């Protein structure tokens, strides 16, 4: 069973949409999305620099748009039926919701654009940040976080946890890491997936409540606890609450293992989630789709898994 996964914020790089927009039909579609949400996805995905697209209000719709156009190409010509399920990391859940049919693509982008603006505004209220903690003794890491008022924001598995809190506390943790741990500050605008984002939840909740939602037509797993969710409205509600609550990607990968996942394809802008899978789901074949040149390998993985499943049925 092959699952398709969608990355979260921080995976964007300057010009990452450019190869996809060489297709005029794709460019027109992204242009229509830009008009619908009031963000020039074409310009920001092709010519804007790294500092510009680090802005949460721009990064989030850009990432979801990239995932959607990648999914369209990957799942064309009847290949949607070859997919065993979908999941997204943080804002990638909006991509996954659209791929699974919970939200229409334009609705997903409209909602995520409001999410991005609301989170950017919440982050501006006080200086906060995030850092990845790699390795180290779990108890020592927990003690180091508690002493600085920091909390885990992303439980990513594979020995990686992203922590968040006051910016000066993140700086101090990086300067004085726990024994045998490496601390990498992240270029983000605030402490996402923590209590600091509560004002964003309040803003996004009524917008999400007004959205048209369907039950998923593909299996989909939630960041809340890694479980599969069959109720579309519940999935959207969980996405909203996730803004101020930790991401449990480690639990999602555990669910993949339990479900018998035999391969993982990451949508653009890909790389981070297949990296986690290589550590957390060792031996599982993966394909990271970064440009259209990566599509043949992803399609081959999809088709090969289906052929193998039919042969053993």
Q: Which of 89, 193, 248, 255 is catalytic?
A: 193
Domain 128-185, architecture per CATH = 2-Layer Sandwich (3.30)
Catalogue the long-range contacts made by 234-241 (C-beta closer than 8 Å, 24 or more residues apart): 235/97, 235/102, 236/97, 236/102, 236/103, 236/208, 236/211, 237/208, 239/93, 239/94, 239/97, 239/208, 240/201, 240/204, 240/205, 240/208, 241/201
Domain spans of the chain, in order of start:
2-123+194-312, 128-185
Write down the architecture of domain 2-123+194-312 according to CATH.
Answer: 3-Layer(aba) Sandwich (3.40)
Q: Check: CB of residue 26 under 8 Å from CB of residue 41.
A: no
Residue with tokens 């999941």: 87
Digitized pLDDT (tens) for each residue of the chain, 313 residues in all: 999 999 988 788 899 999 999 999 999 999 999 999 999 999 999 999 998 998 889 999 999 999 999 999 999 999 999 999 999 999 999 999 999 999 999 999 999 999 999 999 999 999 999 999 998 888 999 999 999 999 999 998 877 899 999 999 999 999 999 988 999 988 788 999 999 999 999 999 999 999 999 999 999 999 999 999 999 999 999 999 999 999 999 999 999 999 999 999 999 999 889 998 988 888 899 999 999 999 999 999 998 876 665 555 5
Angle, vertex CA 250, rays to CA 249 and CA 255, nearest 5: 90
Distance of CA 221 to CAs 61, 71, 217, Å?
21, 17, 12
CA-derived radius of gyration, the chain: 19
Is 193 a residue of the active site? yes
Distance CA 86, CA 265 (A): 10
Residue 137 DSSP class:
-
Residue 248 annotated to the active site = no
Q: Are strands 181-185 and 128-135 parallel, antiparallel or unpaired?
A: antiparallel
Of 125, 122, 128, the closest CA to residue 204 belongs to: 122
Active-site pick, 90, 155, 248, 255: 90
């Amino acid at each position: 069973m092959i699952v398709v996964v969608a990355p979260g914020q921080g995976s964007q790089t300057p010009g990452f949409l450019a190869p996809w927009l060489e297709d005029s039909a794709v460019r027109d579609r992204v242009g229509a999305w830009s008009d619908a949400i009031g963000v020039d996805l074409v310009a920001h995905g092709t010519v804007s620099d790294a500092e510009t697209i680090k802005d949460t209000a721009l990064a989030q719709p850009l990432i979801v748009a990239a995932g959607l156009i990648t999914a369209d190409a990957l799942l064309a010509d009847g290949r949607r039926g070859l997919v065993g399920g979908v999941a997204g990391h943080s804002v990638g859940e909006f991509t996954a919701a659209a791929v699974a049919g919970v939200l229409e693509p334009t609705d997903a982008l409209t909602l995520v654009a409001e999410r991005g603006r609301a989170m950017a505004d919440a982050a501006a209220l006080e200086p906060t940040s995030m850092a990845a903690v790699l390795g180290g003794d779990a108890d020592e890491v927990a003690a180091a976080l508690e002493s600085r008022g920091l909390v885990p924001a992303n439980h990513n598995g594979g020995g990686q946890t992203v922590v968040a809190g006051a910016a000066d506390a993140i700086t101090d943790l990086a300067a004085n890491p726990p024994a045998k741990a490496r601390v990498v500050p992240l270029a983000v605008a605030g402490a996402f997936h923590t209590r600091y984002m509560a004002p964003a939840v309040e803003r996004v909740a009524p917008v999400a409540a007004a959205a048209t939602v369907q039950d998923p037509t593909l299996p989909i797993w939630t960041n809340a606890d890694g479980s599969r969710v069959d109720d579309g409205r519940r999935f959207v509600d969980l996405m909203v609450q996730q803004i101020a609550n930790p991401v449990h990607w480690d639990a999602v990968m555990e669910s993949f293992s339990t479900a018998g996942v035999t391969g993982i394809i990451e949508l653009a802008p890909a790389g981070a989630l297949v990296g986690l899978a290589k550590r957390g789901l060792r031996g599982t074949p993966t394909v990271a789709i970064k440009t259209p040149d990566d599509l043949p390998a992803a399609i081959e993985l999809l088709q090969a898994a289906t052929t193998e499943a039919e042969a053993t049925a």
